[in-house]
Structure formats: structure tokens, C-alpha cells
């Protein structure tokens, strides 16, 4: 296995746990970063589950020993990201693997594939994100891949130990580890603006009024090229950002 990437600051990882994947996605847009969200089918076994941590990648070929090997190199609060090729004919994890991962101190599991033992997984409580469930376990065992512990593919994205995974009720997003601090700062700013806007709406001020929508319509009449996003940037709004 190749050397692990430099650790993401602990404070940044702690801050991620308090941010939604939606705010993190908006932060990536604001910073001009690629928004690497898992496909919409990739969801939590239980909607209230959430996790955040450095990616611990694994490419599954039909045997649990690759998971055990990955755990030998794991750091506390890593997220095990399993590439099972998006297969929908077999589950590659069940209750025993999830228990082992939990006992190793990891923050959660993301699977580009299926799980089984749903009832037991709910009882264990470790955050697990998959494409769904099936009773069938691995159907065949392939040869060990030379890069089986170096990268994992999830939908269109390939992630490594240089990345961070965050999952919640909206799905999973992958972030570049070296930009985590910037992403957290941008996401916190967006969250704070939205919270103030929501509080003002509950107090009776519409979002249209808060964002100066009437002023935007007047400005757009004078400059048809003006976009609402440009207007929001000028007024400090967070919608669409």
C-alpha cells in the first residue's frame, strides 16, 4: 500500500461533521471546485445517519480480507469507501464487516454497491451509505488488484486517501483534502446566511424582500445580461451559491 496522504487538520474534520452536504456542495461551487457528489441512488441505510472523514479506499473482488487489510492502515475516523463496481446482483458487506469497521474506530462506510443484513446494520448504528440491499452475498472471488487499496470509484468519481468523504440524508460528497479548510469556511458562511434568512422569513420578511428581488428586476430591465446570481453576490445572498 502506498504512503498515506498528509492528515487533514483535525479541526477541519470536526467542523465538517456540523455541516450539511448541501452547504459543502454550495461551497465547492463558490470556490470554483468540482462538485463530486455520489449518484442519487447512493443513500444512507437510515436517513438520520451522517459521517465525515478521510477516505480509506478499497476495491472489492469478492473476499473480506481486502477490508481487513485496509483496516490495518486505517486512522481513527476514516471513512471506508468500497468500490464494488456498482454491482446490483450481490452485497459486498453485511453485519460482521460493519461491526469490524466500527470496532476499528472508523466514522462510516460508503459502498459503490449493495449491503445486506439491514436489520443488524440499523442496530449497529455505524453510518453506512450504499445503493441498496439484497440477500445475496459475493457471488465469486477475483484476483487481488495491485491498486486495490489505493483508489476507489464511486459513480463517475475516483477517490483516494487524498480525499475526504461526507455523508448525510442528502447523500455523499467527496472533497479534496488539501482544500478542506477553505471549503469549511465557505460552507459555514453560506450556512450562516441561510440561517439568518430563514429566521427573517419566520419573522415575516419574505425571501424576495431579503434578496431585493424587486431591485433585481429593475436592474435587469436596464441590463438584460445581469443574472440573479450576480445580484446575490452583490447583496450577500446565499441562494444558488
Annotated binding site: 94-97, 116-117
Task: Give every CB contact of residue 231 below 8 A, 6+ residues apart in sequence.
Answer: 211, 212, 215, 216, 219, 237
What is the pTM for the complete model shown? Answer: 0.90
Query: Which of the 8 DSSP states describes residue 73?
Result: T
Q: Taking a C-beta distance cutoff of 8 angstroms, is the pair 203, 39 a contact?
A: no
**pLDDT over 70 for what percent of the chain?**
94
Task: Give every CB contact of residue 4 below 8 A, 6+ residues apart in sequence.
Answer: 73, 75, 161
Give the Cα separation of 94 and 75 in Å (integer).
22
| pLDDT for the residue 239 | 59
Q: What is the pLDDT of residues 64-91, one digit of tens each?
A: 999 999 999 999 999 999 999 999 999 9
Task: Give every CB contact of residue 154 below 8 A, 6+ residues apart in sequence.
Answer: 38, 42, 81, 83, 110, 112, 172, 174
| pLDDT for the residue 84 | 97
* Domains of the chain (ranges, CATH numbers): 10-183 (3.50.30.40), 206-241 (no CATH)
Annotated binding site for substrate: 94-97, 116
Beta strand pairing status for 128-130 and 43-44?
antiparallel
Q: What is the pLDDT of residues 173-202, one digit of tens each?
A: 999 999 999 999 999 999 998 999 999 999
Amino acid at each position: 500500500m502506498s504512503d498515506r496522504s498528509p492528515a487533514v487538520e483535525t479541526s477541519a474534520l470536526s467542523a465538517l461533521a456540523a455541516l450539511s452536504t448541501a452547504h459543502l456542495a454550495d461551497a465547492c461551487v463558490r470556490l470554483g471546485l468540482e462538485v463530486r457528489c455520489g449518484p442519487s441512488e447512493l443513500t444512507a441505510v437510515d436517513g438520520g445517519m451522517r459521517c465525515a472523514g478521510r477516505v480509506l479506499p478499497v476495491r472489492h473482488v469478492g473476499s473480506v480480507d481486502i477490508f481487513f487489510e485496509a483496516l490495518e492502515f486505517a486512522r481513527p475516523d476514516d471513512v471506508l469507501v468500497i468500490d464494488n463496481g456498482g454491482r446490483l446482483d450481490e452485497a459486498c458487506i453485511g453485519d460482521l464487516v460493519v461491526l469490524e469497521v466500527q470496532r476499528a474506530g472508523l466514522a462510516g462506510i460508503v459502498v459503490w454497491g449493495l449491503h445486506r443484513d439491514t436489520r443488524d446494520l440499523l442496530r449497529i448504528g455505524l453510518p453506512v451509505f450504499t445503493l441498496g440491499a439484497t440477500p445475496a452475498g459475493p457471488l465469486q472471488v477475483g484476483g487481488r488488484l495491485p491498486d486495490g487499496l489505493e483508489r476507489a470509484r464511486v459513480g463517475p468519481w475516483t477517490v483516494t486517501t487524498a480525499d475526504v468523504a461526507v455523508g448525510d440524508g442528502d447523500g455523499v460528497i467527496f472533497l479534496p483534502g488539501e482544500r478542506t479548510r477553505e471549503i469549511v469556511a465557505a460552507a459555514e458562511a453560506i450556512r450562516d446566511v441561510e440561517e439568518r434568512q430563514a429566521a427573517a422569513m419566520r419573522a415575516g420578511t419574505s425571501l424576495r424582500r431579503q434578496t431585493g428581488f424587486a431591485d433585481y428586476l429593475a436592474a435587469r430591465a436596464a441590463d438584460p445580461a445581469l443574472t440573479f446570481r450576480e445580484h446575490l453576490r452583490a447583496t450577500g445572498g446565499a441562494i444558488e451559491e
